[in-house]
Chains A and B, each alone.
Chain A
Amino acid sequence: MTITEAPPETATVATDAPDPATGLYDLVTTGDHKKLGAMYIGLALAFGAALTVVGVVVGLERIDLASVDLYNAFDQFVQAWQSYAVGLVFLVVVPLLLGLATAVVPLQVGSPAIAFPRAAAAAFWGWLIGGGLLLASFIVDGGFGTPGGLADPEPTVLSIVSLAMVVISLGLASVCVATTVIGLRPAGMKLHRVPLFSWSMLVASVIWLASFGVLAANLVWLYVQFRYQYGEPIAGTAEATEVQPGMWAQIQWAFSGPQAFAWIIPVLGIAGETVPVAARLRQRSYPVLLVAIGAFGLLSFSAYAQPAFSRGGLQVTEQAVFVGQSFLLILPVLVVFGALADSLRIGARDVGAPRSWLVASVLGVLVLLVGVVLTAVRAVDDFALVGTSADSGTLHLAIGAGLLGAAGGLAFWTPKLVGRQLTPLTMVGALALAGGALAGGGPDFISGLLDQPFLAGDGYIADDGVEALNLLSMIGSVLLAVGVIAVLVDVVGASVRGRADDAADDPWGGHTLEWATSSPPPPSNFSAPVAPVRSECPLLDATESEPDDDQEES
């Protein structure tokens, strides 16, 4: 197999390279993308474990809608829900996928490092500090405005500023990942030959950057309003300016509708990587998949869906663009799903026992498909689902699909990154995540059809069956928490135990460049320069050309 061209002197230099420094100092100052990726993944899963438990408590409160039992006031319940939604998106799902990309993308494109390693490190620390402050702000009564306006003003300002810090940091990390894909590819790896995960990260990074820009603008405007106008008299009246109740509406677009699925674009790329490897074949219609993932990214961008655009008697969610976008979003997912199902059908005999990475990534696409279908239904005006619990249902499905995709990616690439395979615990976690996403999102969507408001409680009289659906949704939250904790335990366990004695460099028969280096990879990723790439599956090219080489030699 000829994947790397190894002049002897180059190989010697790489082998003799001194061991990198270890310890806290190295951790804080490192620009090594593999360590940064590992830190993102570990901390995002830890945040995930904490926040999914918050989700369980929120779910428990919703079982009895007649009164507020577990919180002091309805506003506190709203704050808890906001911490759950904001945290799961920006402290768990997006950083988990970005962490995976930070660790894997440079290896996939044959680069010795990530682009702008110091910026990548700054992004990580900015995200961590911002994320810590965001959670702290919720603990001390912050948040993004509550219906009763009871949230404490200063922690609310801290919530706004810390979320802005998180968003800017994630944007910076996206720049590093996207630049790596565009600028650090080896010879021959044209954009149409980029591995699907790297491609999906490029698409995601561009869409995220655009979305983060809009979200940052919203946050700055909220900050100015809240800091300088809140409580001030409205010109010409004796009334005080009320900003709090409208705050969440200003940023809600990021957590509902097609935009909720923009945060999980890489799920399609992860499945696109794992399925052909499991089926032991080249993915057919590769360019179609590239286009489908790109289209999914474009169609999921709906940062314009803000209340300010709802003027003239027509809500933005009732406008043709939004409705059309919600429906069209199904198409690319169907294309990817169909292409991957085709691969699994053709390679069915070679798939063998289901691997956790295959199960998790395929379930991720399935949950995503359910999510986008329900998002299209939500957009139908006749159902009047916008503003009901159907919003939290689709968000639940998006988060579940994101976590499943990330779990699949972790199970697939952990042997490469730490030299040890994950245990069946990740399979259990993946099944729990899938169950949690469907049990959490489905009932919320149905109760939305039964007119349960987005955040119901505090004396709300529910229709028959809504509280039972809420109980089911709470069980979904429990399963989600179990899934995240199972994956966290397995990943941390594998990292702590380190490289297995029998670790193989390519345990799955991978197709892309990351499998051509050792497990875990050396500090500069490849011990020799990467040979020119001739297709989207450089390792398959090498394997297929070997018999010919042997024949020529004989």
Chain B
Amino acid sequence: MATATTELPPAAELPRPRTLLVGTSLALAGVAMYFAAIMGIYALERQEALRSGSEWFSPGTVQVAPGVVMWFTVLLSVVTMQWAVYALARNIRVQAYLALLLTLMFGGAVINQTSFYLTDIGLGIGESTASAMLFTVVGSFLALLMVAMLAVMLTSVRALIGQYSSQRTDGVVAASMIWYLMVAVYTGLWLLIFVTK
């Protein structure tokens, strides 16, 4: 029996994957400038307060330990986020779903830790310039974290219904870019608030 070889038709042209990544990069550049500016204002206000002889936070208000725990949580989420990208690019879908779920869980944990911490220190937002700055910077970070979680959720749903696969990973890569920026922002915030106090 002769074996007939069937030549497959050429694959359809993919939608431009660069567009989403380019757009995300540009938007993230704007977001990065926002955080650079708000952290710059924080640093300058703190410097001014210390220069004038007043204290920034009362001793014991800001402790390193909670900040370190939160920082390690967001660092772990980098691993799971990259795992999701890796798994989806290789069509290991179960792993991709698991990784996305874990990433979301870490995000939720950071929100939980932050809200507990802000309640625990017992500062009012209008109490002093330091507390107003703390709430502004941390609040902005939480907003970014929620946007990143929304992007990951959207990616998960789209991956579940088959829109993302090894052939098309731009959505999950874009979500990961937002996530990594969030982690970078937290690292800066950790240094600024918890390390320098």
Contact = CB atoms under 8 A, between A and B. Distances in A.
A311 B140 CA distance: 26
Interface stretch (B36-44, B69-77, B112-120, B153-161): B36-44
Interface in B107-142: 125-129, 132-133, 135-136, 140
17 contacts: A174-B26, A175-B30, A176-B23, A179-B23, A182-B22, A183-B16, A205-B26, A209-B30, A211-B33, A212-B33, A214-B37, A220-B136, A224-B132, A229-B126, A229-B129, A303-B37, A308-B48
Nearest to B128: A235
Most buried by B among A119, A206, A209: A209
Given A183-B18, A217-B34, A308-B44, A178 B132 contact: no
Contact of B136 (A174, A224, A309): A224
Interface string A181-192: 011100000000
Given A182-B22, A220-B38, A213 B30 contact: yes
Interface in A153-208: 171-172, 174-176, 178-179, 182-184, 205-206
A178 B136 contact: no
B22 to A, nearest CB: 5
Given A216-B37, A217-B38, A224-B136, 14 more contacts: A115-B22, A115-B23, A172-B27, A183-B18, A184-B19, A209-B33, A210-B29, A210-B30, A212-B30, A216-B34, A220-B140, A308-B40, A308-B48, A311-B44
B132 A225 contact: yes
A116 interface: yes
A460 interface: no
Given A175-B27, A311-B48, A221 B34 contact: no
B23 A308 contact: no
A205 B26 CA distance: 9
Contacts of B102: none
A305 B197 CA distance: 26
A224 B23 contact: no
A206 B26 CA distance: 7
B191 interface: no
A209 B35 CA distance: 13
A2 to B, nearest CB: 23
B69 to A, nearest CB: 26
B23 A175 contact: yes
Contacts, number: 101
Contacts of B101: none
A232 interface: yes
A206 B34 CA distance: 14
Contacts of B30: 171, 175, 209-210, 212-213
A228 B16 contact: no
Contacts of B33: 209-214, 217, 303
A518 interface: no
B62 interface: no
Most chain B beta carbons < 10 A, residue from A210, A217, A220: A217
B26 A217 contact: no
The residue among A176, A205, A228 with the most chain B CB atoms within 10 A of its own CB is A228
Contacts of A311: 44, 47-48, 51
A206 B22 CA distance: 12
A50 to B, nearest CB: 29
A535 interface: no
B19 A183 contact: yes
A94 to B, nearest CB: 14
Interface string B145-172: 0000000000000000000000000000
Which has the most chain A C-beta neighbours within 10 Å: B32, B37, B54? B37
A218 interface: yes
A311 B33 CA distance: 22
Interface string A115-159: 110010000000000000000000000000000000000000000
Contacts of A232: 126
A60 B128 CA distance: 42
A207 to B, nearest CB: 10
Contact of A175 (B26, B44, B129): B26
Contacts of B126: 228-229, 232
Contacts of A176: 23
A327 B45 CA distance: 30
Nearest to A181: B22
A221 B26 contact: no
B34 A183 contact: no
B165 to A, nearest CB: 21
B68 interface: no
Contacts of B128: 235
B78 interface: no
A188 to B, nearest CB: 16
B194 to A, nearest CB: 20
